Structure 1
């Protein structure tokens, strides 16, 4: 167990850490982790290390992904990186394509997880796509995700993080918002699980409840328990225990 660093690109932020279950060469599934930080470079994949260790102890292989953040690069680089990191699984010798593959993201990473799952589901049917060598995503889990990007823009959440990330307002960048914001999706191809702490701020809690009520995306399941914005990635927190139990049910 423990993360071994593997590059999936040439930039210093294009790498992941690969964890395998301790004492086992066979995982029960693979979890791809996407950290948050509201699209800024001040946070990195270390945020997800406790979760990676917990999942590995439970028998999961874990691909904890770093990616170029749009404050230092641009939105296209961020979206491209999470796709490339997922495709890179096929080049990891101990990756097992015949066990469930899930994507788990926190905060801004929750938005990226849902967008990635939808993009990947569309790509699995495209000839010559990298998705041909990596299985479909069995479940996308958004932990206190940023799921309403136009709303976050209007509220100036995190001092304008969304405008910085997507390169402008919804009026200036309509295609980017439409492709990225789960609140704007016109359908859903992949299974989702939304997770939200009831002690989190309204800026996260209310949009997740609204997304669960959104018929256009099929009323995705929302799991709510007590906990703040970071309890959802704390292996000691009851909300995480509830989350991983529900994940096991949904992918079994």
Structure 2
């Protein structure tokens, strides 16, 4: 990790709504023009027991590399969220993060970086960024429902199963919303049991068929949570890809 840039110790908290989870942590490196503006979106299978602190290791790493960071919190199942409110929050949060720092957006790339269901959300709002990184992303909510992943997390988020809410499930699934018309990097470990790597393999095939520019890294031995570990083998390449956008 290139750690020659010092970073501020505490973020600025910016609110984009009145509910408790509707806030952004804005972090700035101590350089006038950051190398990029990373919009981090955490996962947790849409459940409120997980929050934005999951992304703090990536925050610290990106700051040390000279990146500015917006780390997004949003309403989840258990604190007022669910479909489509969670997506509405993320869209509002990203727009707020961009409006709060227009100079960063004007002078460097804006990259959505989402993990797990954060990857789903990052892909669904790809139009707000210059590029998207999906780290073990959920790309097909219908498949999450069919495979009953994480104790039927999809039905809890969507408010029912695919059989009864097919249109909503399609809207919530990046694989049903292509082309996304932004460069995409998908990183997924081959031992991931929370979101099987086959989900990403099928998403990448569909994205290429739709004409999207997609890079895919299938990482041997990488599990689901290690996808947000900056010490893991994939991260250096991920940041290099981000900087090339």
Give TM-score, length-normalised by structure 1: 0.86
Q: Does 1:40 align with 2:34?
A: no
- What is the aligned residue count? 232
Quote the RMSD (CA, aligned, Å).
1.8
| Alignment partners' CA distance in 1, 2:98 and 2:131 | 18
* Alpha carbons 2:134, 2:186 under 8 Å: kept: yes
| Alignment partners' CA distance in 2, 1:217 and 1:207 | 19
* Alpha carbons 2:110, 2:130 under 8 Å: kept: yes
- Counterpart in the other structure of 1:53: 60
Give TM-score, length-normalised by structure 2: 0.88
Give how far 1:188 is off: 2.6
Q: Which runs of 5+ in 1 are unaligned?
A: 122-135
Could you say what secondary structure the match of 2:20 adopts?
Answer: coil
- Counterpart in the other structure of 2:233: 238
Give how far 1:76 is off: 2.1
Give how far 1:72 is off: 3.2
- Counterpart in the other structure of 1:115: 124
* Alpha carbons 2:226, 2:232 under 8 Å: kept: yes
| Alignment partners' CA distance in 2, 1:158 and 1:94 | 38
| Alignment partners' CA distance in 2, 1:52 and 1:95 | 20
- Counterpart in the other structure of 1:224: 218
* Alpha carbons 2:182, 2:212 under 8 Å: kept: no
| Alignment partners' CA distance in 2, 1:37 and 1:235 | 18
Equivalent residues in 2 for 1:1-252, closer than 5 Å: 1-2=8-9, 3-21=11-29, 23-73=30-80, 74-93=82-101, 95-98=103-106, 99-117=108-126, 121=127, 136-201=128-193, 203-214=195-206, 215-216=209-210, 218=212, 220-226=214-220, 227-249=222-244, 251=245
Give runs of ≥4 in structure 1 deviating > 4 Å.
Answer: none
